Amino acid sequence: MKEYNDFEAWIEHAEDDFRNSGKLIRGSRPSIYGTCFHAQQCVEKYMKAMLVHKEKSFPMTHDLTLLNNLLEQVGVFMGTTEDTLDTLSAYAVATRYPGASPTIEDAKEAIQIAKIIRKFSRTFLGLK
């Protein structure tokens, strides 16, 4: 990564995760785990980009609720529920190991959440 405090670098990585989540769900054998993971990573990185933009420090975490709380402290209100963020947060680690079994519907929901937060973030950051 270019710089930890470079919000454009965070966006570059978020966009890569967004593209990957969309690619992995397509085809006759979609990667449900990969889709959920990359959707979560997209959201996490956009949230961190907004924090960098607001000059708010944050820990290296996958906890989207924690990141959302930090965003709210600096006046950024995404309008997402804690349950939604907690569900996505779980995909950061749980989908990489045996035991978690998200469904295709979970993967589609993860992408939809990522789309909503991506749109909010890009608008907030003044991006197309």
For 73-125, how does the pLDDT look when each residue is reduced to its tens digit (9 = 90+)? Answer: 999 999 999 999 999 999 998 777 777 689 999 999 999 999 999 999 999 99
Q: Which pLDDT value is given to residue 100?
A: 67
Tokens 């991006």 -> residue: 127
What domains lie within the chain, and their CATH numbers? 7-124 (1.20.120.330)
Distance separating alpha carbons of residues 10 and 16, to the nearest angstrom: 10
Q: Which pLDDT value is given to residue 97?
A: 75
Count of C-beta atoms within a 10 Å radius of residue 67: 24
Q: Which pLDDT value is given to residue 101?
A: 85
